[in-house]
Structure 1
Amino acid sequence: MIKKGISLLLLMFLMVACKKEGNKGIVKAEPESQVILADNGKVDSTVGYNVDVNGKKTIKTDYVYKATDGTLVKVVFNYDPNNRTVAITNNKKTFTMEKKQSTESETTYEKDEMKATVKGDSLILHQGDTIIELVKTKI
C-alpha cells in the first residue's frame, strides 16, 4: 500500500513537472576550498562531501534514499548558487524542486504544492496530506 502510494505520489509530481524539459543539471567537480553556505551565511551541514585517497574534497551531489516501505529513490542536489535544486527520481521519472530557504541544519525545496525538507540524513516529502519520509542509505 505504501509502495503504491509513493509511486502514485511521484507520478503526480511528474505530471506537474511535465512542463520542464528534462533534467538540465550537470554535475561538476567543485574546488576543494568551496564551501556551501546556508541563507544565514553559516556552513550548510545538509551538503555532503567526498574525500579521495589524497584528501581532495569535492561536493557530493547524488544519493540514494530509502522509504519506509523499502522503495529506493535517487536524489540529486544541484548546489549552483543561481539555481539550487533537488531532483528526485523513482521508476525512471524525475521531479525537480527549487530551494526556498535554508539554515545550517535544514534546507527546504518547493515546487507548486510539493515540498521537500532535508535535515541530516532525512528527506521528508509533503504534498497535501501525504507525507513520505526517506532516509539516506549507505549505498
Structure 2
Amino acid sequence: MLTKSTSILCVSLFIIACKNEGKKEVIIKNSSETSVVNNNGKIDSNTLSSTTIEVNGKKTEKTNYVYKATDGTLVKVVFKNDPKESTVAITSNKKTFTLEKTDTKTDEIIYKKDDMTARVKGDSLYLEQGDNIIPLKRTKI
C-alpha cells in the first residue's frame, strides 16, 4: 500500500510529465569551450571567452573580448558567427550596439548599422560615426 506522501509524489510527477509532453525544445547537440588562435597560430590570451554551439548540424560561434579606448574606457565586444548572420555587439556604459558584417577585405572586417561602422584590423577596432572615429585596442582584463 502506498503512503500518502508517495501517492502525492506520483501524482505530481504524472502531472508534470503530462504538461511537458507537448513541448518542443531546441536540443543543443554539442556545446564546447574553444580556443581562439591569433594569426601566428598561438592561443590568443586576450580572449575573454569563446563558445561553439552546434544545433542540428549548424554551428554558432561567439567570441568575447575586452577592448580599451585611448581614454582607458573598457568596452566588451562579442563577435557572433552563425549560419544566418555575422555580427559584432559592442557594449559600453550599459548600452549595446549590434552591427552586421557587411564586408571582408584582406586586412579588415567591416560591420555596419545605420550611421555606425566598426572596422576590425588585427587586434584593433575602429568605431566610426559621422566624423568621429574611436580607436579601440584589444586588451586583457
Same structural fold, with TM-score higher than 0.5 when normalized by the shorter chain: yes
Distance in 1, Cα, partners of 2:134 & 2:90: 12
The CA deviation at 1:72 is: 0.3
Aligned residues between the structures: 94
1:59-96 Cα shifts (integer Å, max 9, x gaps): 66000000000000000000113210000001111000
1:28-76 Cα shifts (integer Å, max 9, x gaps): 64888xxxxxxxxxxxx6xx9669xxxxx96660000000000000000
The question of 1:125 aligning with 2:127 is answered: yes
Distance in 1, Cα, partners of 2:77 & 2:137: 11
More strand, by proportion: 2
The CA deviation at 1:114 is: 0.5
Q: Secondary structure at the match of 1:70?
A: coil
Distance in 1, Cα, partners of 2:128 & 2:109: 14
2:12 aligns with none
Distance in 2, Cα, partners of 1:29 & 1:49: 16
Where in structure 1 are there 5+ consecutive unaligned residues?
A: 1-27, 33-44, 52-56
* Matched AA of 2:138: K
Q: Secondary structure at the match of 1:61?
A: strand
The question of 1:85 aligning with 2:106 is answered: no
Matches within 5 A, 1:71-110: 71-110=73-112
Where in structure 2 are there 5+ consecutive unaligned residues?
A: 1-30, 46-50, 53-60
TM-score, length of structure 2 as denominator length:
0.57
Aligned residues: CA RMSD: 3.0
Displaced runs of 4+ in structure 1, greater than 3 A? 28-32, 48-51, 57-60
Distance of aligned partners of 1:111 and 1:60 in 2 relative to their CA distance in 1, 3 Å threshold: closer
Whether the 8 Å contact between 1:64 and 1:72 is mirrored in structure 2 is yes
Matches within 5 A, 1:25-64: 29=32, 61-64=63-66
The CA deviation at 1:103 is: 2.7
